[in-house]
């Protein structure tokens, strides 16, 4: 038997019995799919880069299939920030007909021509397939998608599997490859921090100018990064609202565009706070930041810090598609 992929099931933050039942059933059923191993882990977003679970994920060779209660884009970039790297794997999971499907919009030519941080990265030799557990309650839909992915994956034989086949594996390894899911138990308290989508990020540094809590920094190549994630103020998504490329994700936020739903800067798929408020999204972000400054016992700064450059550019530039759409909505006196 060859191992084509490793399936990772991330527990949700809540103890909802329906969610737990789906996770447990999927772990049991998927572990029996030929050509994979199944691993159940704590909530992916809550894990730290030094956690035992993340360290374990970094050792897994070959393709990964990750099932979470998060948008696919959020899952991919949470893994990326923790050093679990790979290319986006194309998925075909059907969305339940009772759930609202997400419309797809093409990027504009101008948007496609922008240089992104991900453009400078070397290509990975493996794919990561992210499946949102909210899309379909049917276990069979996930089984079918996992089987489809496995059927297309190139065969790989991790050394642990070879050891087992040769009779030298440990009992833990034998259980793992005998159709049984493995579960990693690790305490992981709830966290709140931004995740950067480097396939959208242009390294404009507006987030580091805007955030006054020391969350962002730069690496040796002067590329933006989330340097101190736990400095982030719980529940505050303000920096996401001012990002011109919709590259900052807060995976647990209730607003889809902020939580990592498909979004296109320069296209029609935009955050509703921007759609119905125009440039007031920046004002909303400034107010959210002021609230957090006050809670931290610091002076408020309003619109005077970190957003002046963007305001100037917006004022001097010609009207774009978004401006025209907002003007049209205003005429309806909504």
Coil, strand or helix at 127: strand
**Phi, psi dihedrals of residue 100, rounded to the nearest 5°:** -75, 125
> What pTM value is reported for the model?
0.81
Q: What is the pLDDT of residues 284-306, one digit of tens each?
A: 999 999 999 999 999 999 999 99
Residues above pLDDT 70, as percent of the chain: 74
What are the pLDDT digits (tens) for 122-163? 999 899 999 999 999 999 999 999 999 998 874 444 545 445
What is the C-alpha separation between 285 and 237, in angstroms, rounded?
8
The closest alpha carbon to 180, from 74, 331, 32, 330, belongs to 32
Question: 267 with 111: CB under 8 angstroms?
Answer: yes
> Any idea where the domains of the chain sit in the sequence?
5-86+124-183, 195-331
CATH class in words for 5-86+124-183: alpha beta
- Give helix 139-152 / helix 17-30 axis angle, nearest 10°: 40
């Amino acid at each position: 038997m060859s191992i084509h992929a490793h399936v990772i099931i991330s527990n949700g933050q809540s103890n909802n019995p329906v969610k737990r039942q789906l996770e447990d059933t999927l772990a049991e059923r998927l572990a029996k799919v030929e050509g994979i191993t199944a691993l159940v882990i704590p909530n992916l977003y809550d894990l730290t880069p030094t956690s035992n679970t993340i360290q374990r994920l970094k050792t897994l060779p070959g393709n990964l299939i990750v099932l979470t209660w998060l948008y696919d884009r959020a899952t991919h970039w949470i893994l990326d920030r923790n050093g679990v790297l790979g290319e986006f794997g194309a998925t075909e999971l059907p969305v339940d007909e009772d759930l609202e499907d997400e419309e797809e919009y093409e990027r504009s030519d101008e948007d496609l021509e922008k240089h992104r941080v991900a453009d400078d990265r070397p290509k990975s030799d493996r794919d990561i397939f992210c499946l949102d557990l909210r899309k379909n309650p049917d276990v069979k839909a996930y089984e079918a998608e996992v089987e489809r992915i496995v059927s297309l994956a190139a065969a790989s034989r991790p050394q642990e599997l070879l050891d087992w086949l040769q009779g030298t594996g440990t009992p833990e390894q034998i259980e793992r490859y005998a159709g049984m899911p493995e579960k990693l138990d690790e305490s992981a308290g709830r966290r709140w921090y931004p995740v950067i989508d480097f396939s959208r990020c242009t390294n404009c540094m507006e987030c580091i100018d805007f955030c006054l809590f020391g969350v962002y920094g730069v690496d040796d190549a002067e590329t933006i990064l989330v340097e101190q994630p736990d400095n982030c103020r719980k529940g505050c998504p303000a920096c996401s609202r001012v990002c011109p490329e919709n590259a900052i994700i807060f995976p647990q936020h209730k607003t889809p565009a902020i939580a990592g739903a498909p979004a296109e800067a320069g296209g029609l798929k935009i955050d509703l706070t921007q759609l119905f408020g125009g440039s007031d999204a920046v004002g909303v972000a400034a107010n959210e930041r002021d609230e957090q400054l006050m809670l931290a016992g610091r002076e408020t700064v309003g619109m005077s810090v970190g957003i002046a450059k963007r305001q100037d550019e917006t004022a001097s530039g010609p009207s774009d598609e978004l401006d025209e759409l907002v003007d049209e909505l205003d005429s309806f006196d909504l």
